[in-house]
Amino acid sequence: MRDRRFVAEHRGGPLGRDQHRQLMAWACDCAEHVIPLLTDSADGRLTAALAVAKNWTVGKASVGEAMKASQAAHAAARDSHDQTAIFVAHSVGQAVATAHMADHSLGAAWYALKAVHNAGQSTESERKWQDSRLPPDIRQLVLSARKNRKI
């Protein structure tokens, strides 16, 4: 069941525009942080998707553009045979999908953790890094939602 706290005001929920944009920015941080785990250079679809996401946060991209970019990032995951690259691509896809549904931001962080784990690095350190990037306005929302979902 969807956490109502992540429903945007324009859809009848409590999530303000600034909070929604902060969730997108945080999700992008999480996804970008794991791109260096790719053994090959980043798929252009991933960097393009992150650019759309960043543009969305400043009102320069539509939700429709973000959804197309998200689909392209997930297609990059399907096209890959490397598990870490798959997780990184899904993290990017979830990050940009935050424009459509704010709770996708949690998916970006979760897939980033999966990428880190698969690469043999510390998920605890990554989680701490992710938490350190949370703006104060959304920190409690994300931490409580993550605890409720056990992710």
Does any domain span residue 113? Answer: yes
Q: What is the pLDDT of residue 55?
A: 98
Question: Positive or negative CA dihedral for 51, 54, 59, 65?
Answer: positive
Does any domain span residue 7? Answer: no
Does any domain span residue 60? Answer: yes
Does any domain span residue 77? Answer: yes
Total domains present in the chain: 1
Does any domain span residue 109? Answer: yes
d(CA 30, CA 130): 6
- The model carries a pTM of 0.95
pLDDT at 150 exceeding the cut of 70: no
d(CA 80, CA 60): 30
Tens-place pLDDT, residues 60-114: 999 999 999 999 999 999 999 999 999 999 999 999 999 999 999 999 999 999 9
Q: Which residues pair with 8 in a beta bridge?
A: 15
With beta carbons less than 8 A apart as the criterion, state whether 32 and 96 touch.
no
Does any domain span residue 99? Answer: yes
Matching residue, tokens 């324009």: 10
Q: Among 23, 37, 19, which residue's Cα sits nearest to residue 105?
A: 23
Structural domain that includes position 22:
16-145
d(CA 13, CA 20): 11
Does any domain span residue 9? Answer: no
